């Protein structure tokens, strides 16, 4: 088991290990007292992990109610968010009570936002059940739902009280969903840690997944402690994401976030080297790492479409965009790029 303490506007632990779900109830009681809990999960995760989570909370003396929503990105909407908040109200949750986000990124982001809004803020606990949520979205307090105009456009920074990651939950993931998380792991390696990149670039990571998750969480902890509100260094975590959001949108979300990030990293590395911004060409290493981890390396969308959509992204600031450049493997830097250069970047894909 690994425990990583995050010291942001609120201090909390991220606990990673096999079989931790059965300790959820006692950990919540010792942190938050014997309030009531709403467990929020989706229709897929419900089948595998809801009973165990509920039993653990109930055995610890916590009364539970359960909110289940249809699995999928379409549920990350203001409609589901408001249904959840109404559900909290119908169940008369008070500020002594809390929410449990049992699931992947959609669940965690939405429960975090609902918890920040209901009664002007109740506690919530992240129980990530996907690799992507474990290494990225459950840690650091970014919460959001999507709007028609784009992904994650309505949200808040709101830190959880605890993140409890039971690595057994990753065992029930379809291979493509596991691969999605690996895109974020590869991303951490390129941005901050060449040793991590080398460790995961050959694939075959499952036997060491606890320490891989823990390393990613340490890296995220450090960047969140420096820049919780995403004004500077935290934006490094957007490596590969400028084009990824365009790719997801152009595919009508048929291409998953992780796959889009995998392709976005290749485009960013290739363009950064071609434009003379990188000291080292990281492109082939990223292509190999993606392939070895069952991730794609290219897409067929037109460069102008990719750039047009990237321009409407929230990462834009006036006439420039903060583009993440791999200086060398394991070290990325932010570069302010005029928005029209995005067309050049996309052409180089």
Which positions touch ligand GLY (CB under 6 A)? 136, 140, 142, 234, 237
Nearer to ligand GLY, 237 or 262 (CB): 237
Contacts of 6 (CB under 8 A, 6+ apart): 12, 13, 14, 139, 140, 159, 221, 224, 225
Sign, CA torsion 302/303/306/312: negative
Nearer to ligand GLY, 253 or 343 (CB): 253
**What minimum distance in Å lies between the beta carbon of 265 and ligand GLY?**
14
**What minimum distance in Å lies between the beta carbon of 190 and ligand GLY?**
14
**What minimum distance in Å lies between the beta carbon of 336 and ligand GLY?**
18
**What minimum distance in Å lies between the beta carbon of 57 and ligand GLY?**
27
Nearer to ligand GLY, 57 or 135 (CB): 135
Nearer to ligand GLY, 42 or 136 (CB): 136
Cα–Cα dist 329/307, whole Å: 25
**What minimum distance in Å lies between the beta carbon of 151 and ligand GLY?**
11
Nearer to ligand GLY, 6 or 307 (CB): 6
* Residue whose Cβ sits closest to ligand GLY: 237
Nearer to ligand GLY, 237 or 267 (CB): 237
**What minimum distance in Å lies between the beta carbon of 235 and ligand GLY?**
8
């Amino acid at each position: 088991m690994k425990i990583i303490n995050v010291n942001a506007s609120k201090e909390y632990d991220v606990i990673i290990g096999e079989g931790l779900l059965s300790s959820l109830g006692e950990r919540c009681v010792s942190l938050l007292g014997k309030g009531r809990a709403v467990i929020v999960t989706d229709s897929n995760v419900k089948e595998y992990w809801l009973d165990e989570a509920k039993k653990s909370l109930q055995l610890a003396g916590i009364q539970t109610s359960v909110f289940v929503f249809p699995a999928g990105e379409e549920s990350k909407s203001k409609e589901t968010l408001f249904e959840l908040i109404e559900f909290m109200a119908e169940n008369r949750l008070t500020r002594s009570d809390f929410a449990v986000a049992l699931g992947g990124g959609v669940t965690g982001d939405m429960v975090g936002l609902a918890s920040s809004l209901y009664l002007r803020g109740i506690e919530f606990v992240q129980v990530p059940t996907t690799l992507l949520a474990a290494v990225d979205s459950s840690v650091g307090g970014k919460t959001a739902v999507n709007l028609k105009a784009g992904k994650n456009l309505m949200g808040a920074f709101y830190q959880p009280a605890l993140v409890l990651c039971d690595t057994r939950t990753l065992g029930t993931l379809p291979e493509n969903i596991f691969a999605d998380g690996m895109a974020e792991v590869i991303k951490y390696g390129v941005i901050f840690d060449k040793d991590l990149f080398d460790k995961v670039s050959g694939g075959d990571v499952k036997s060491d997944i606890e320490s891989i998750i823990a390393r990613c969480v340490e890296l995220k902890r450090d960047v969140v402690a420096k820049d919780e509100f995403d004004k500077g260094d935290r934006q490094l975590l957007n490596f590969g994401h400028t084009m990824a959001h365009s790719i997801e949108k152009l595919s009508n979300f048929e291409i998953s976030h992780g796959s889009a990030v995998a392709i976005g990293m290749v485009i960013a590395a290739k363009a950064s080297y071609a434009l003379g911004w990188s000291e080292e060409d990281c492109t082939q290493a990223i292509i190999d790492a993606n392939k070895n981890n069952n991730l794609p390396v290219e897409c067929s969308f037109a460069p102008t479409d990719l750039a047009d959509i990237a321009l409407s992204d929230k990462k834009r600031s006036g006439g420039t965009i903060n583009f993440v450049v791999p200086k060398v493997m394991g070290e990325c830097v932010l570069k302010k790029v005029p928005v029209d250069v995005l067309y050049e970047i996309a052409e180089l894909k």
